[in-house]
Amino acid sequence: MAYLPKSKYSVLNTPGNKLVVKSTKQPYIGDYIEFSNGKYYAGNNPLNANIELVELETDFNNFGSSKNTRIYHILNKNIHNSLKPKEDIPPSRQTPTEQDYQRGYFNRYFLRRVNQQMSFIEINSETYNELASQKEKYDYNLYQPGAIIWALTGNVIAINNKTLRTLESIFPLISQFFAVKNLWERQQGLVTQGGELYYANGVEYTGFYHIHEDIPMVGIKHTEEPHPRLYYGGGIRRDISETSFFEDTQSGKEFLDDINIGEKEETTQNPGGYSK
């Protein structure tokens, strides 16, 4: 590999008000290399300098309103619009719906900065569509959007691992970004014979249960109908004679609601573990 003395270049960073991509005239944000010959290139590796940058020739933070400036903007509308301030892209993680669980999968969306290999963030479908359709809301030249079909049922770890591996050729290191391969998986049809789970009032629970968002709950699978949560260990209450303290806060009210549901479940539970 060729060696380049550090005296021949400097690695700097621009927030977007200094350089544009020479070939497209699009504003550039991020790390760049300034060589001793006065040329600029995108990135931070001088041995992989492929995208040449040039300095802005106009103060784009103040376009001006003179007659000549307005004429220039009309004649160069695409360049003018591309240099207008863009919105920051907000990270957003979508959650699966009940319909998604019935189908067995749902779509997750992400993006990566084009000049940074490990710079992924997860986004929602709306942001993905804005970038994919190259709307002016975001600077789509700086990002590479992507989507993945995420398994929710079956051997989700193996399925999602395989899907991610197919994306590695386009998005290197994507498997590291989606590190939890069984995220959103529901564990259903579990059974406890006792000594493991308890209602909020400390009464032991036996029968079918499922785990929803890391919380054990009564029943074979999760449904939209109200059903009590369960607790590991010896429960969280044996005898509460004073409830005023709990009624003073929202979390306390939710706590008491769990207790009341658990007490009702204790008297209505059938051998299958369903709540009536």
pLDDT of residue 262: 47
Each residue's pLDDT tens digit, 53-72: 998 764 434 445 555 555 55
**What proportion of the chain, given as a percentage, has pLDDT over 70?**
73
Question: Phi-psi region for residue 130, left (φ > 0), alpha (ψ -120 to 50) or beta?
Answer: alpha
Distance of alpha carbon 94 from alpha carbon 183, whole angstroms: 12
235 closest CA partner among 220, 219, 254, 255: 255
Each residue's pLDDT tens digit, 115-171: 887 889 999 999 999 988 888 888 888 899 999 999 998 889 999 999 999 999 999
Distance of alpha carbon 56 from alpha carbon 18, whole angstroms: 6
Each residue's pLDDT tens digit, 96-116: 998 998 899 999 999 999 888
Distance of alpha carbon 109 from alpha carbon 129, whole angstroms: 10
Please give the structure tokens belonging to residue 209. 């249960």
Tell me phi and psi for residue 247, to 5 degrees: -75, -10
9 closest CA partner among 49, 55, 54: 49
22 closest CA partner among 8, 9, 38, 40: 40
pTM more than 0.75 = no
Residue 243: partners with Cβ closer than 8 Å, 6 or more residues away: 256
Tell me phi and psi for residue 164, to 5 degrees: -65, -35
pLDDT of residue 149: 95
Each residue's pLDDT tens digit, 237-272: 443 333 333 334 444 445 445 545 444 444 444 444
130 and 138 in contact (C-beta within 8 Å)?
yes
